[in-house]
Amino acid sequence: MSANASTSSTPLVGVIMGSNSDWEVMQHAVAILKQFGVPFEAQVISAHRMPDQMFTYAENARSRGLRAIIAGAGGAAHLPGMVAAKTIVPVLGVPVPSKYLRGEDSLLSIVQMPKGVPVSTFAIGEAGAANAALTAVALLAATDEALAQQLLAFRATQTAAAEAMTLPL
Ligand code: RP5
């Protein structure tokens, strides 16, 4: 693990991103993991600037106990796909908005994986980061009933909020 890694107990979810400039988006994944009390780690791993570290991270992910990897990147966003190429731990890809193409480049780079090596790809930006984390929670909830109950309560809260919505008629 790098010196920049942020860890809470033994991590079950790894959150990685290509740059600290991705944090503004990726912090929304971390916020969800914290909300559900899921042990996680978060760090910068750049596909094109740290390729050796990227492969090492992916190769060791399963033996280290990671159950999901949330990978966010922008532009020519190779990180999720290349990590997925080196591990069978599920990779949840988050397209980070880019400066010139608003993240459409990130989205297409991540979502268009050739058949055989999947990356579960989420919406561009904040919603994608949060939903990737909620999916990681759902994966863990399959074998953790307490977490499943937390997730059901989270959904119920959203239902109640939608039911309470009024319109300015
Ligand atoms: C990607 O390039 C990163 O994921 C980031 O979205 C983008 C820009 O990186 P910086 O130039 O801000 O470090 O690798």
| Every domain of the chain and the residues it spans | 6-155
pTM of this prediction? 0.95
Q: What is the structure's pLDDT at 7? A: 58
Task: Return the bridge partners of 139, or none.
Answer: none
ipTM of this complex: 0.96
Q: What is the CATH number of domain 6-155?
A: 3.40.50.1970
pLDDT, tens digit (0-9, with 9 covering 90-100), for 59-95: 999 999 999 999 999 999 999 999 999 999 999 999 9
Q: What is the structure's pLDDT at 108? A: 98
d(CA 77, CA 120) in angstroms, rounded, equals 14
**Residue 64, helix vs strand vs coil:** coil
Q: What is the structure's pLDDT at 3? A: 43
Ligand 1 centroid to residue 164 C-alpha, Å: 40
Low-confidence ranges of the chain (pLDDT < 70): 1-8
Annotated binding-site residues for substrate read 19, 22, 49
Residue whose CA is at the smallest distance from ligand 1 atom 13: 19
